[in-house]
Structure 1
Amino acid sequence: MSSEYELTDNYFPDLDSRWSELTSDESQPDPADAFVFKFHSVDEQLGPDQRWSTWLDVERGSRGPEPRPSWVVTEQAAIDTELGVLKTGKEADVFLVERAVEAIGDNPAKSSLLAAKRYRTEEHRSFHRSTSYVEGRRTRNSRDSRAMQKKTAHGRSVAAGHWAYAEWDALNRLWKAGVPVPYPVQIDGIELLMEFIDDGEGGAAPRLAQVRPSKELLGQYFEQLRGGMRELARAGLAHGDLSPYNVLAQGDRIVMIDLPQVVDIVGNPKGMDFLMRDCHNMATWFTNRGLEIDDQELFADLLTMVY
């Protein structure tokens, strides 16, 4: 072998000194520096109208559909604060709730307003008129089904949960289909948390029955309504109780609300009757406001989405 490839003691003259530098105590990192945890204390004293967020208390299937809006607060340290009553009714009461989390470390503070709809249990008073809505639906547990039929205390409790989950399921399906409904945030027993539809100034959006829109805006409202009803019909559903009192006017857009009684048009023997009633109620309101709408034409248009 040529001498130019032969190693000598002086071939790496700085090897020993370099090895000493690398293995010296000064060059070794402190193992403690590899695990640095920063803790931030959280005030656990809650007010009488507060509770810890229940987001992580419910199973994954009880949380809103993805992709979720950016305003949804999912942090475990969030606190729910009840701000007041939005609406009281025979079947449920709706409360305004703020879900907020303080700034922690590099994470900024975040909050959102929610509508908390809490269904009544023993105080529920709509069962005498609910039978026609639920035809075509099934309850898996036979004991629960019998209790609901007999209207026992247990049956009334089961029925309240039944209505809550019926609305939860409807909101999920319709949100995914692009129907203008509030985003369903989560459900926990008989409490349904959903997007709060505001008026842009901090208050609740008015019902359609309360507004006097311009002719141009009236036309926009109807096109949005018809689009929403068409998507419902495409899914084989009718709102079942659609009226100007179950539609909110948020600026230049409308939002359908109150959907626990959503009706299966085909599976329910009275499905077509409910659909026709929805058409009549809304056509009458728009006609009275100056936009001539024929309820029969609207009904026929929706049927093309069903069959």
Structure 2
Amino acid sequence: MHSSRRTEPVRRRRRRFDDDLADDDLPIRPPSTVDDLDGRAGHDPDAPPEGDRWSTWPSVPAGARGPRPWPPWLVTDAGAVDRDRGLLKTGKEADVHLLERGLPGRPGVLLAAKRYRDPAHRMFHRDAGYLEGRRVRRSRETRAMAKRTATGRALIAGQWADAEFAALARFHRAGAPVPYPVSVAGTEVLLEFVGTPDGVAAPRLAATRPGPDELAALWGELAGALGLLADLGYAHGDLSAYNVLVHGGRPVLIDLPQVVDVVGNPQGPAFLDRDVRRIGEWFTARGLPPGAPEQLLAELRERAHLSP
């Protein structure tokens, strides 16, 4: 016997925009495995004949490649392979590996591969102040970042990688002493390796013991570099003797994901002041005249068009 009562169909609300998706509903593609390639675990039919992977250069878009003119040492061949030659540096947010890129059977060029750690294994504790003034267009992405969901942490990591690459490209064009940015892909930034041809990285400023003349020369070079950044309206954002390399007697600025727009970021002037104070303390402790940092700060504020 059939009931005479009719069941009303359940009406599902139609989502009008992607932003209606809950943050935890954002699709995240699981990492592929070797089994996905041909069903035979441990064998990748598309792997290079030697090395750890094919060069990523052919697969990155033009906007994710370093600024032109490309340096003569840059390897752009589609048949090049990348070989990981070990860990150079480990940090709270990223690890830096030594990478050799070249054609099979030929000597390659050394690069530094900065790889921001998986969101599940690290956290950017200081991102709030640094990210002020930066824009994320899609509101669902903004919410995910604010809530620190897995998606949000991945977006933040991507922002840091993109920010560092963009800053390096901008400063390199301006003539600042920074490593040449080769490319950015996901959370990996490939950089010019600053060191010897046999893979010994240049020392950090903190590890050097400069004499009086070298100290004065390094301060003058560093002041000039910070002046170039100020002309563009930026501060390093986390400057210390640990993120300045000394190569060929000259300073090289590194670790620039947190570069700060000193005008657009409300905390920009405070970051600039802190940069000069911290690096100045290292130099004055080794014989630099005590008034030099304050003089430099005044010059940088003027060049960045900040009020006294």
CA distance in 1, matches of 2:49, 2:169: 35
Q: Which of residues 221, 229, 235 is equivalent to 2:218?
A: 221
Match of 2:33 in 1: none
Percent same amino acid among aligned pairs?
53
Match of 1:156 in 2: 153
Cα shift at 1:291: 1.7
Residue 256 of structure 2 is aligned to residue 256 of structure 1: no
Q: Give the distance between the partners of 2:244 and 2:121, measured in 1 at CA.
A: 23
Distance 1:163 1:52 in 2: 25
Shift in Å at residue 133 of structure 1? 0.9
Task: Give the secondary-structure state (helix, strand or coil) at the position aligned to 2:129.
Answer: helix
* Higher Rg: 1
Aligned to 2:50: 46
Tell me which residue corresponds to 1:20. Answer: none
For structure 1, which segment, 276-285 or 194-203, has the greater mean C-alpha deviation from structure 2 after superposition? 194-203
Aligned-pair RMSD on alpha carbons?
1.6
Select 2:209's aligned residue among 208, 212, 215.
Answer: 212
Contact 1:183/1:195, CA 8 A, preserved across alignment? yes
**C-alpha distance in 1 between matches for 2:242 and 2:149:** 31
Which residue of structure 1 aligns with residue 298 of structure 2? Answer: 300
Shift of 1:46: 3.1
Equivalent residue letter for 2:70: R
Deviation at 1:252, TM superposition (A): 1.0
User: What is the CA deviation profile of residues 47-77 of structure 1, one whole-angstrom value per residue up to 9, with x for unaligned ones?
Assistant: 5xx1111100111111110111111111111
Rounded to whole Å, the distance in 2 between the matches of 1:216 and 1:241 is 26
Kindly indicate whether the alpha-carbon contact (under 8 Å) linking 2:182 and 2:190 is maintained by their aligned counterparts in 1: yes
Look up the SS of the partner of 1:84 in the other structure.
strand
Deviation, 1:200, is 6.3
Number of corresponding residues: 258
Instruction: Answer whether contact 1:225 1:254 (CA < 8 A) is retained.
Output: yes
Distance 1:260 1:204 in 2: 20
Give yes or no for contact 1:180–1:228 (8 Å, CA) kept in 2: yes
Q: For residues 199 and 251 of structure 1, what CA distance do their matches in structure 2 show? A: 10
1:134 pairs, out of 119, 131, 134, with 131
1:276 corresponds in structure 2 to: 273
> How far off is 1:124 after superposition?
5.5
- Report how far residue 293 of structure 1 moved: 4.4
Q: List, as ranges, runs of 4+ consecutive aligned residues in structure 1 with deviation greater than 6 Å.
A: none
Distance (whole Å) between structure 2 residues aligned to residue 68 and residue 272 of structure 1: 34
Q: CA deviation at 1:144?
A: 1.1
- For residues 267 and 231 of structure 2, what CA distance do their matches in structure 1 show? 18
**Contact 2:184/2:190, CA 8 A, preserved across alignment:** yes
CA contact (8 A) 2:239 2:279 kept: yes
Tell me if structure 1 keeps the 8 A contact 2:48–2:81: no
Report the CA distance between 1:214 and its aligned residue: 2.0
2:77 aligned residue:
75
Q: Which of the residues 74, 90, 93 maps onto 2:92?
A: 90
Task: Output the CA distance in 2 between the equivalents of 1:212 and 1:136.
Answer: 38
Note the alpha carbon deviations across 1:248-284, whole angstroms, 9 max, x for none.
0112111000000000101111111100001101111
How far 1:178 sits from its partner (Å)?
Answer: 0.6
Q: Residues 160-182 of structure 1: CA distance to partner in whole angstroms, max 9, x if unpaired?
A: 10100000110000000011000
Residues of 1 paired with 2:283 and 2:57: CA distance? 40
Q: Which amino acid aligns with 1:45?
A: P
Q: Which amino acid aligns with 1:113?
A: L
Where in structure 1 are there 5+ consecutive unaligned residues? 1-42, 104-108
For 2:256, give the aligned amino acid.
L
SS of alignment partner, residue 213 of structure 1: coil
Structure 2 residue ranges without an equivalent (≥5): 1-46
Q: TM-score, normalized by length of structure 1?
A: 0.81
